[in-house]
Amino acid sequence: MPAPSVLPREFYARSPEAVARDLLGKRLVRVLDGERLEGVVVETEAYHGGEDPASRAYHGLKGYNAMMWDEPGRLFVYNVHRYWMLNVVAHEAGAVGGVLFRAIEPTRGLKTMRRLRPVADDRELTSGPGKLSVALGVTRELLGYPATDPDGPLYILDAPCVADYCTSHRIGVTRDLPEELRFYVPGNRFVSRG
């Protein structure tokens, strides 16, 4: 059986909602101090450009959000309430957008994840965007790295698409679009509880 391949740049060169939906079931890999930490993506949120009031891009191109205009497949990392948020740039040509990783089901490197984020219950390791970033050692240093580079510090491996998924409005935003842009695997115990 061939080894899974890293998702190519073309995967991310689509609408943010298509990418957010199709990332469910893919494998997020973080290489930290030579160790591979890994998990299955179980929850994401899509963000658009200037027309999206919940997006970092809503107020136009600024220094802190410039990565959202960059080529699809690059990592976009920013800080909210002391936590780094891990995103990947995702948009069609000439557009702006990204996808927030909200939760993964950890499958490899749990000992290190528990050291980075000591919790009594493993369900709390990666069941939210801030939790996920702490457990994976995500910092601003990842900003701009291509998630398409298998030799990079963080990349996404292909895996079968999730056939059964649910949607909802995005969590923790004060203004939202009418579309439901949060995607998650129903019944998965690592999906955040809002």
| DSSP 8-class letter at 159 | -
User: Would you state the pLDDT for residue 2?
Assistant: 65
**Residue 160 within a domain:** yes
User: Would you state the pLDDT for residue 74?
Assistant: 97
User: Would you state the pLDDT for residue 1?
Assistant: 59
**Residue 62 within a domain:** yes
**Residue 192 within a domain:** no
CATH number, position 115: 3.10.300.10
Residue segments in the chain with a per-residue pLDDT below the cut of 50: none
**Residue 193 within a domain:** no
pTM for the model: 0.95
Tokens of 102: 């909200």
User: Would you state the pLDDT for residue 54?
Assistant: 86
User: Would you state the pLDDT for residue 53?
Assistant: 83
Asked if residues 76 and 25 have their Cβ atoms less than 8 Å apart, the reply is no
User: Would you state the pLDDT for residue 191?
Assistant: 97
**Residue 30 within a domain:** yes
Asked if residues 46 and 97 have their Cβ atoms less than 8 Å apart, the reply is yes
**Residue 121 within a domain:** yes
Indicate the number of domains in the chain. Answer: 1
